Amino acid sequence: MPKKVKTTVEFEGRVSEILVDIPDIETPLWGNDAELDIVGHPIPRVDGDKRVTGAAKYTSDILLPHMLYGRILRSAHPHAVVKSVNSSEAEKLPGVKAVISAFNTDPIRWHGSSSLFDKTARLVGDEVAAVAAVDEETAADALELIKVDYETLPFVTDMEEAMKDTAPKLWPNGNVVGGKPSIYERGSVSKGFAEADLVIEETFRTQTELHTCLETHGSVAFWEGDKLTVWDSTQAVFNVRDALAAALNIPSNHVRVIKQYMGGGFGSKLELGKYTVIAALLARRTNRPVRLMLTREEDQMNTGNRPATLQHVKVGVKKDGTLTAIELKSVNANGAYLGGAGCGAPYREMYLCANVRTEEYAVYVNTGRSRPARAPGHVQGTFGLESMMDVVSRKIGMDPLEFRKKNYATVNQAQTNPKPYSAKLLDQLYEAGAKKIDWWNRDKSRNSGDFHSRKRGVGMASQIWGGGGGPPAYALVKINRDGSVNVLSGTQDLGTGTKTIISQIAAEELGIALADVAVDLGDTETCPFSGSSGGSTTAASVGPAVRTAAADARLQLFEYAALELKVKPEELSSRRGKIFVKSDPQKSLPFKEAARKAGNNMIIGKGFRGPNPDGYSLNTFGAHFAEVEVDMETGRVTVLRHVAAHHSGRPFNPLTMTSQIEGGVIQSMGYALSEQRVIDPASGIPLNMNMENYKPMTALDVPTIEPILLTQVDEHCNTLGGKGIGEPPRIPAAAAIANAVADAIGIRIRELPITPDKVLAALKSSVPSHKV
Amino acid sequence: MRAFEYFAPQQLADVIHTLSTAGGNARVCAGGTDILGRLKDGVDTPDKLVCLKTLPEMRYVRESNDGVRIGALTTLSTIEEDPIIRKSFPLLVEALYVTAAPQIRNQATMGGSICQRPRCWYLRGPFDCLRKGGAKCFAVDGENKYHAILGGHLCYIVHPSDSATALVALNASAKIQGSKGEKTVPLEKFFVGPEVNILKENILEDDEILTEIFIPTPSAGARGAFSKSRERQSYDFALASAAVQCTMKNGVCAEARVVLGGVAPIPWRSIEAEEELKGKKLDPKTIERAAAAAVRKAKPMTQNIYKVDLTRQLLSKSLSQIMV
Ligand SMILES: Cc1cc2nc3c(=O)[nH]c(=O)nc-3n(C[C@H](O)[C@H](O)[C@H](O)COP(=O)(O)OP(=O)(O)OC[C@H]3O[C@@H](n4cnc5c(N)ncnc54)[C@H](O)[C@@H]3O)c2cc1C
């Protein structure tokens, strides 16, 4: 029996202590000098061909015999009592097989005290009823025939309005989540401000960003007797299974959740969705499979968002650049149901400062609910903090980069007993990035535009994030009699390359070719448990488990090889398809030959993720440098260059790592320059639930992104020496761009996105100064 | 999407017949890039959809002594790549090049781009607005960042078409076919503001379609330029645009047509700016005066004040391009 110990794990900023086994199979750290054949090499996606040829099956590709199509009727009002739902006309429409609502189903609890079909709608888009029909058009037509009697209630969509006593209340205890702000304090900020030579205050605002996954949310549900199978576009098959079983009051082993391929989640697909339960209910009622994929409008409206923020920041600083106090008071738009909102973490962690206080309000408003969005909190907070650091450094006449280096933190100050970072090479990232963008000559850039109508500027920002991963995560490695290998793990590849990295790790540990490894993920019935794919934790959580499973399988195979080579199993090793005697590598046997010897004596290696190291804080760091050009006549900002330097320990695969960086920067460019949910204030109806007026960047907007990867191994984090990279590149990009804009035009735009109207208004009303 | 009857006639006469018997409840579909979205979003619910793509005779770019004729079904990318157009009307080519994106230009047609409906999010959303026969314009007290600063009257949509803006500057005319026969009108007169008709953007009757665009040969010394501003570099409508076509004689601007896009319910011809240019040397002072004149009557709302400066700047930019 493996020994149980306690360990600390972190997921999207939330830290918890859990019980964990210590693997009894030792897999020593792959250090800087490890000779690796596959891990760390630029391996193209193992399933890339399937994705680009259309062979890959996404949830919306699942087509079952007799399948019906589900659609959801959503509230047209931001706040209303649903007094009755009359579906008789809809049911008469030929092809309609079922209509469900609060009035003909048992209540299923949701969001605490709410329910699946709540009789109070709290946002435009809340679920009111659902239809299953023979095709999507019929289902859509049926929605129009359902008559809902609403009693409309006063509503509030603006978070600052919602905080006022006079505001309509969404919940009996008022609109402030938990009734009070969440407060953190270390040291004493009043003492810190007193010690400062200069105290500076600024206010920053960020917009509501929508995840805009290319594949909308949705599920296919299929009952065989009392057993439910669900294909779901999800970041967490086990979360969905367990919550679905609980919602339907059936055992977990009666629910199978499958996710093969998916088109993005970014945090919005970490939990069971109402659409999944609705699909299951409709399928049970009709006794036919039901596919329910949300439309783009529904997806933008009610599957989550990065909440808007208001950040009042106050910083105390000495003339020599020493930070004496950082204070944040923030308001965060939580949406109508508890979703998680706050942006203070970067303020608490990024810079060395003894006196820090954050006071954060999350506020209920009659709009879509906030969800984790690729580096939740950190993206908003880093825009505020890193804009502020620019303001402060310029005010005291210090170079922004030097100022950041001056306040460099080497321990995680937000912890009660601050632990050192397991690997923080941010100083090297600063140097590498600065060199690439030519930071020290950036005045040249500022003067290189056509001076009247176009101005250029350079800005930078840095980033901290978790991403160390941790237990529990499990994997199985099966060696077949022909020497081919199956890896099974209940994690999921969101399109990020998890499958590829797992293949690499298994092949490396086994000492065989990548082509001999097949990986199956995302199936709660065939795969052992792994956690949700979020928080940049997947590779560092699942990877070591896969490696241990492979080591276990390899040891079992060595027993057959040892008989053949007449040595003890411990004397063997394997590499490049061969099992050989360590002391005499000439004495060897092909891996496949050993597998043949084992025959149908099944080799199943089992692996699980061991504990995180005590005594270290596992984090990832990055620094971005952007060069922009601002058209002074039209107010348009063009990003000319974007350098993104990152260190997450060993890059498992430089190609997948680079594509995470590129994708993160592109999303952040939209956040910085063009994306913003718009809600009509008078009606509470969202106005831009499409990609025409909600504007992600296009290929023409994006410059060549220049990633810098530091490859040094993190010797403490886990046996692979690497951590996550999914979220880090999203964090500092917008702040770097905003700082570059301020550098270019001499006026700071304190509110995202930096659209032409804001730039033109700023140019008109302010006198540019290079102390921005 | 509401069910409708679909027609794919072989002859123009059949199109007109179907339209004239539908009592206003038929729409034509050319490239479909606009109408299909409206049908799917339920903002338009016709009984009949008449496909024009099966008509063989409306795809052409033809040159004659007096100018160039473009069939209504010619795709925007065909026009953009046509050597005659490229030679004689760079202004139009510039406008097409910044229209939507190549995929859409491969599908969208000349007629469709001129007859496309406004993108106002109230018009295209679940709002019973004036242009849909309702009681008010929701943009006035609502989200009006993208709305009109000129020519608004009860309704404040902006005309979305870049090509129309360019074509009005080029003094193009439109050939219209209906059950009463054929007629030709200057494109400028084709569009109508809300003060004339709040329900539609042009003079087409229910039984009429646009069949051809004619652009007269520019006089010697004519020069054109088009500038557009948007929030991203592709798939984005104009925040504002400025098309200018000037005829230069002995360094003096003999004739000028100035048309603004994205700022008014119709492609907005600025007579005020033209007056400032006529008979003048195109120098920075004249340009500044003309640009200022163009927006002098602007009446911005709460969120679109920026369009005033933007329009002025874009017009200066277009005029400066001509000057060089
Ligand atoms: C994402 C996106 C971005 C866009 N960006 C831009 C942009 O930047 N600039 C711009 O100018 N446009 C833009 N557009 C709009 C695009 O130019 C129009 O959708 C297109 O030109 C319409 O042409 P179509 O042939 O597809 O028209 P359809 O969709 O077939 O028809 C459009 C309308 O015109 C009517 N119609 C079509 N042909 C005729 C005719 N011959 N006579 C009478 N009525 C007719 C139809 O009944 C319909 O009401 C964009 C569209 C999209 C979807």
Facing residue for A764 by CB, picked from B303, B309, B317 = B309
The CA–CA distances, whole Å, from A58 to A189, A218, A258, A261, A619 equal 52, 10, 10, 5, 33
Q: Is the pLDDT of residue B238 over 80?
A: yes
CATH code at position B191: 3.30.465.10
Cβ B171 under 6 angstroms from ligand 1: no
Q: Reduced to 3 states, what is the DSSP secondary structure of residue B229?
A: strand
* Measured distance CA(A202)–CA(B55) in Å, rounded: 63
Q: Considering only A619-623, B2-6, B302-306, which range has the smallest mean pLDDT? A: B2-6
Tokens of A553: 């399988």
Least Cα distance to B114 among B154, B65, B167, B63 occurs for: B167
Neighboring chain A residues of B235 at a CB cutoff of 8 Å: 691-692, 698
* Measured distance CA(A33)–CA(A13) in Å, rounded: 32
- In this complex, do B143 and A699 lie within 8 Å of one another by their Cβ atoms? no
Q: Where are the alpha helices (DSSP H) in A6-135?
A: 48-53, 88-92
Closest atom, ligand 1, to C-alpha of B238: 8
Q: What's the domain count of chain B?
A: 2
Q: Reduced to 3 states, what is the DSSP secondary structure of residue A89?
A: helix
* B243 and B166 within one domain: no
Choice between B231 and B57, residue whose per-residue pLDDT is larger: B231
CATH 3.30.365.10 fits A155-211+304-409, yes or no: yes
What's the CATH number of domain A62-153+212-302, 3.30.420.40, 1.20.1260.10, 3.30.365.10, 3.30.70.920? 3.30.365.10
* B233 and B292 within one domain: yes
Residue at which a domain ends, from B195, B216, B237: B216
| Contact residues, chain B to chain A, C-beta under 8 Å | 1-3, 101, 119, 121-122, 125-127, 138, 141-143, 145, 229, 231-236, 239, 303-306, 309-310, 313-314, 316-317
Closest atom, ligand 1, to C-alpha of A692: 1
Identify the pLDDT of residue A772. Answer: 57
Choice between A452 and B28, residue whose per-residue pLDDT is larger: B28
Q: Whose CA is nearest to atom 26 of ligand 1?
A: B31
Residues 6+ apart with CB under 8 A from A677: A207, A208, A209, A210, A300, A305, A368, A686, A688, A694
In chain A, % of residues over pLDDT 90: 94
**Cα B161 to ligand 1 centroid, rounded to whole Å:** 8
The CA–CA distances, whole Å, from A717 to A350, A602, A657, B306 equal 20, 33, 18, 51
- In this complex, do B239 and A756 lie within 8 Å of one another by their Cβ atoms? yes
CATH code: domain A415-467+613-772 is 3.30.365.10
- In this complex, do A687 and B143 lie within 8 Å of one another by their Cβ atoms? yes
* Assigned domain for B137 exists: no
Cα B170 from chain centre? 12
Residues of chain A with pLDDT under 50: none
Q: Where are the alpha helices (DSSP H) in A629-752?
A: 654-673, 733-745
Site from A300, A640, A751, A757 to mutate, B interface, most B CB atoms within 10 angstroms: A757
* B257 and B313 within one domain: yes
* Assigned domain for B29 exists: no
- In this complex, do A687 and B141 lie within 8 Å of one another by their Cβ atoms? no
Site from A135, A633, A695 to mutate, B interface, most B CB atoms within 10 angstroms: A633
**What band does B56 get if pLDDT is binned at 50, 70 and 90?**
confident
> In chain A, where does the domain assigned CATH 3.30.365.10 lie?
4-58+469-608, 62-153+212-302, 155-211+304-409, 415-467+613-772
Chain B nearest-CA residue for A686: B125
Strands A209-210 and A305-306: antiparallel
Identify the pLDDT of residue A23. Answer: 85
Neighboring chain B residues of A682 at a CB cutoff of 8 Å: 138, 141-142
* Measured distance CA(A377)–CA(A733) in Å, rounded: 14
* B94 and B201 within one domain: yes
Cβ B300 under 6 angstroms from ligand 1: no
* B186 and B67 within one domain: yes
Which residues 626-665 in chain A show a CB within 8 A of chain B? Answer: 633-636
* Assigned domain for B260 exists: yes
Closest atom, ligand 1, to C-alpha of B237: 8
Tokens of A483: 């020497």
The one catalytic residue among A136, A564, A727, A751: A727
Identify the pLDDT of residue A4. Answer: 87
Closest atom, ligand 1, to C-alpha of B211: 41
Residue A727 annotated to the active site: yes
Cβ B108 under 6 angstroms from ligand 1: yes
What is the least distance, in Å, from the CA of B180 to any CA of chain A?
Answer: 38
* Assigned domain for B10 exists: no
CATH code: domain A4-58+469-608 is 3.30.365.10
Strands A356-364 and A323-335: parallel
Q: Whose CA is nearest to atom 43 of ligand 1?
A: B209
CATH code at position B243: 3.30.390.50
What is the least distance, in Å, from the CA of A673 to any CA of chain B?
Answer: 8
Q: Residue B68: which domain range?
A: 58-115+160-216
Facing residue for A698 by CB, picked from B122, B126, B234 = B234
Q: How many residues does chain A have?
A: 772
- In this complex, do A700 and B138 lie within 8 Å of one another by their Cβ atoms? no
* Measured distance CA(A462)–CA(A476) in Å, rounded: 38
Predicted TM-score (pTM) of this structure? 0.97
Tokens of A769: 């100064």
Residues 6+ apart with CB under 8 A from A635: A755, A756, A757, A758, A759, A760, A763, B229, B306, B310
